[in-house]
Amino acid sequence: MSTVASTPAGTISRTPSDEVAAGLPVRTDLWVDGGFRPAVSGRRFDRVAPRDGRVVAAVAEGDVADVDLAVAAARRAFEDGRWCDLHPRERRATLLRLADLVERDADDLARLESLDVGKPVSHAKAVDIRVTLQTLRFYAEAADKSYDAVAPTGPAVHATITREPLGVVGAVVPWNFPLMMAVWKIAPALAVGNSMVVKPAEQSPLTLLRFAELAAEAGLPDGVLNVVPGFGPTAGAALGRHMDVDALTFTGSGQVGRLFLNYAAESNIKEVSLELGGKSPQLVLADAPDTAAVAKAVAVGVFFNQGEVCSAGSRLVVHRSRKDELVEAVVAASQRLRLGDPLDPKTFVGALVEAEHLERVLGHIGAAHEDGARLLTGGGQVLAETGGYYVEPTVFDDVAAGSRLAQQEVFGPVLAVQTFDDLDEGIALANGTDYGLGASVWTKDLSSAHRVSRRLRAGTVWVNCYDESDITVPFGGYGQSGFGGHDKGLAAMDKYTHTKTTWMAL
């Protein structure tokens, strides 16, 4: 039973710690060559549920030796053609069967995701699992509908331009959308015939292990998909430095993204693609539409998934004429978001992923105070008595352009408000970070919408909306938000293929 208490930050629900750890629908060894196996070292690490700080699983801890075994299995699977030489129709059918199995187990997977990372279970089902399904089906359907090309070389020669799988693709992924973001990589890479070794974040290995088991049930041949949980500096680095990994696709922080460029340089110059962080602005012009609607979108745009979203709209850059009414409405909208136990289906803001991250987010809040920003709502940990890691939706006003809160990614529920007087100043503020992942512009004027969208340096610009998303549309960033080929969209298949040209004298 849950009880409900009112706090200054709005409605907070409490579910007493219970026996959720019992009966987890997942096994916790490494998934290598089509089966579960313990780590070579025999070591395991604890998974702590962010909702109450209790251990829910002890997961096998992969390291260099395990990565070697997984890469060798993936290499064998690739070289003997058990997957890449199938008719594309058969790859399509397998991936569609896998999607059906994910759909069958959607409730279990959503609950597992929520338990592992603290996100609301309703969002895990409606976003993470739903998008995982769409992603699998989109790339499955693309598998047997991609054509190669013949170059217009003239009659004496015949030149074809074909796309071929890279071979063994390594993927290192984050914990904020653990299964969904991994499948943004897995689905296109497998659809075109690669084999893979995936390292989930140490905070979120559970759903990917279950997914790998479902892939085997769907008929994916052994060794084609391997999942090696473990820590970044050991298992992650081993994959990044491996001489027999052909490409490495990474989503995570810029700090670690840089390391992957080094790993590639120090090893076999493998292809690297990076999806990194952001400090995305929501730019509200003087003629923005209805304040209540903008306020709700701004609040959801930053506080969805506890703010643990790379494209979170974490800066509100607002014209002075609209500022007071909008900020008041954003604060009210923030306070209405229901914070509490992620397993409660009514929760909107769940728990941060781990104790270290809680401390990091509280550190950013402390820095904002030190730098002179003015706290309007939130600002601290709540529900500490549950043992979980909850931070209230937090809004700071008067955030100076060069201050830490304006520049650094918090990856938590903290909104920075910045004010401008003329449009050039607003655009300069919006563009004034090292990042360039997402940005929005709110205006009723069509010309302003076009002009400003063009001037915003971001991989995705939303006009009068935030976080619209579809698997058909590519997603990636400018600047220090990443490079090397976007996730999502048909073009994502290109980053998992080589281009080959073949000349024939006629």
413 binds ligand NAD (CB under 6 A): no
Q: Which is nearer to ligand NAD, 233 or 372 (CB)?
A: 233
CB of 259 to ligand NAD, least distance (A): 5
Known catalytic membership, residue 275: yes
Give dist(CA 206, CA 24) in Å, integer. 9
Q: Which is nearer to ligand NAD, 118 or 240 (CB)?
A: 240
Residue 484 contacts residue 272 (beta carbons within 8 Å): yes
Side chain identity, residue 22: A
Site string for ligand NAD, 416-455 (x = CB under 6 A): ---------------------x------------------
DSSP state of 62: B
Q: Write out the DSSP string of 460-480.
A: EEEES-S----TTS-B--SGG
Burial category of 352 from C-beta neighbours within 10 Å (exposed 0-12, middle 13-18, buried 19 and up): buried
Give dist(CA 93, CA 86) in Å, integer. 11
The catalytically annotated residue of 84, 310, 354, 409 is 310
The full length of the chain comes to 506
Residue 472 contacts residue 489 (beta carbons within 8 Å): yes
Known catalytic membership, residue 310: yes
The catalytically annotated residue of 213, 275, 354, 409 is 275
Supply 450's token pair: 């076009």
Q: Which stretch binds ligand NAD (CB under 6 A): 285-293, 381-389, 475-483, 496-504?
A: 475-483
240 binds ligand NAD (CB under 6 A): yes
Q: Write out the DSSP string of 146-178.
A: ---EE----TTEEEEEEEEE-SEEEEE--SSSH
* Residue among 128, 83, 473 at smallest CA distance from 309: 128
Contact pick of 63, 66, 354, 409 for ligand NAD (by CB under 6 A) = 409
Give dist(CA 477, CA 278) in Å, integer. 8
Q: Which is nearer to ligand NAD, 39 or 84 (CB)?
A: 39
344 binds ligand NAD (CB under 6 A): no
CB of 459 to ligand NAD, least distance (A): 9
Contact pick of 227, 237, 391, 410 for ligand NAD (by CB under 6 A) = 237
474 binds ligand NAD (CB under 6 A): no
Give dist(CA 110, CA 496) in Å, integer. 28
50 binds ligand NAD (CB under 6 A): no
Contact pick of 10, 178, 188, 252 for ligand NAD (by CB under 6 A) = 252
Q: Which stretch binds ligand NAD (CB under 6 A): 111-119, 251-259, 361-369, 464-472?
A: 251-259
Contact pick of 56, 59, 172, 283 for ligand NAD (by CB under 6 A) = 172
DSSP state of 221: P
- 3-class SS of residue 242: coil
CB of 484 to ligand NAD, least distance (A): 11
Q: Return the residues of window 291-320 that contact ligand NAD according to CB under 6 A.
A: 310
Give dist(CA 430, CA 323) in Å, integer. 15
Contact pick of 202, 341, 344, 354 for ligand NAD (by CB under 6 A) = 202
Q: Which is nearer to ligand NAD, 8 or 233 (CB)?
A: 233
What strands, in cross-sheet order, belong to the sheet with 149-150? 149-150, 157-165, 497-505
Which residue in the block uniquely carries the two structure tokens 């890449």? 84
DSSP state of 229: -
Contact pick of 17, 41, 253, 453 for ligand NAD (by CB under 6 A) = 253
349 binds ligand NAD (CB under 6 A): no
Catalytically annotated residues: 275, 310
* Chain residues that interact with ligand NAD, rule: CB under 6 A: 172-176, 181, 199, 201-202, 231-233, 236-237, 240, 251-253, 256, 259, 275-278, 310, 409, 411, 437, 477, 481-482
